[in-house]
Amino acid sequence: MSNINAIADERIGVRAQIWQAGWIHSATFDIFLLIFAPLVTLPIIAAIYFRIPWLAIGGGLTLAFAHYFSTASFFFWDENREYYRTRLAAFVGGPVIITIILFLLRGLNVPYIIQFVLFFWNTLHVSRQNCGILSIYRNKSGVKDPGMGQRHAANGAIVSISLFLAVWHIDTHKEVSALLGIVSGNLNLYVKIATGLIAAICLLQLGLAVARRQEMLGLPESLFLASSLGFFWPYLFIRDSETATFAMLLPHYVQYLSLVWLLHRRKFGDASSGAPVPLLRLSASLTYLLPVLFSVGFFFYFMQQYVTVDAGRWWLQTIYLLIAFLHFYYDGLIWSFRRPQVRRSILPFLLGSRGAAG
């Protein structure tokens, strides 16, 4: 009997370790900055309802542009220069095409197209970031997924449910609903029904995949999976689609900035890493990092507040759209873990500490 109890206690202990292990950095860091990131942005959400524009708009723009421009830091990595040169068509040609198309659409005043593409590309961009972070948690949990059944099931559920929630009040989005209305007066409803059915099927597939897996679903992975499935919750409770998008994006910005900071901290956290001096300073101390982030964001906030000339506003809006589209595009290249170079330069530092990665 004592042997049976000892074996049972050992199994319980192993399960407890699996349940508690697997944080990307630490329980506190992950819970507040990755899993429950919306809690960090509650003051900005409150500022919308209490009509405090400098906090709502200024805080939102600060997070947005800090997150956009943090993408540029990848171009300062010495190890990536050769990689960019070998893929000039992707890293140079693609952005040039996007810029030309955007200026043509804006210059010719073509209605609806830009906002339509922005809305759905943004939805895919945010949901795929959640898929990527979940993959890190799955990897740290020691999940063996040779056929990628777990990965495909989780990614399908996250993307499809995010899309379904995003179109919940799509009739309140002026440009998107107008373009759908040109095709059919009931297309808004058809889109909602179709995305809902797809989301239900994908959620069922996820449930079956989780039931079949041999490894235990640990606490970090399970929490982030639940958070990712409900990440687009603002669309259910905020009827105005554009306001809901703003509320949804705030925790996305926090997640992105937290991951980039953690990556740089582990990769360039000490002088021996050989990083460029600006990256070394920003990675090593929040004293340097936070003022830079705030200065970037509030520059665009003040521009938006005080540029009143029509031509100036046209250029400001066009630049904002261009930065957003280029961010979506470059992120698809920079975080593409299918590429060996990306896996070598990024993945080890997200899966473990700098020393472990080495």
For residue 319 the two structure tokens come to 């630049």
CB count within 10 Å of CB 271 equals 10
**C-alpha to C-alpha distance for 92 and 232, rounded to whole angstroms:** 32
pLDDT at 295: 81
CB 228, CB 126: distance < 8 Å: no
Give the predicted TM-score (pTM) of the model. 0.87
Residues comprising the chain, all counted: 358
Q: What share of the chain in percent tops pLDDT 90? A: 52
Q: What mean pLDDT, rounded, does the chain reach?
A: 86
Q: Evaluate whether 179 touches 239 at the Cβ level (below 8 Å).
A: no
d(CA 100, CA 31): 41
Question: Which pLDDT band, with edges at 50, 70 and 90, does 177 fall under?
Answer: very high
Comparing 277 with 246, the larger pLDDT belongs to 246
Q: Which of 269, 272, 293, 291 is CA-nearest to residue 281?
A: 269
Q: Could you tell me the two tokens for 70?
A: 């943090």
Binned at pLDDT 50, 70 and 90, residue 80 comes out as confident
Overall average pLDDT of the 28-53 stretch: 89
Smallest CA-to-CA distance from 253 within 353, 338, 304, 324 is with 324
Virtual CA dihedral for 355, 290, 68, 61, nearest 10 degrees? Answer: 150
Give which of 268, 274, 272 is closest to 288, Cα–Cα: 268
Q: What is the rounded average pLDDT of the residues 311-321?
A: 90
Which residues, including other chains, have CB under 8 Å from residue 237's CB and lie 6 or more apart? 244
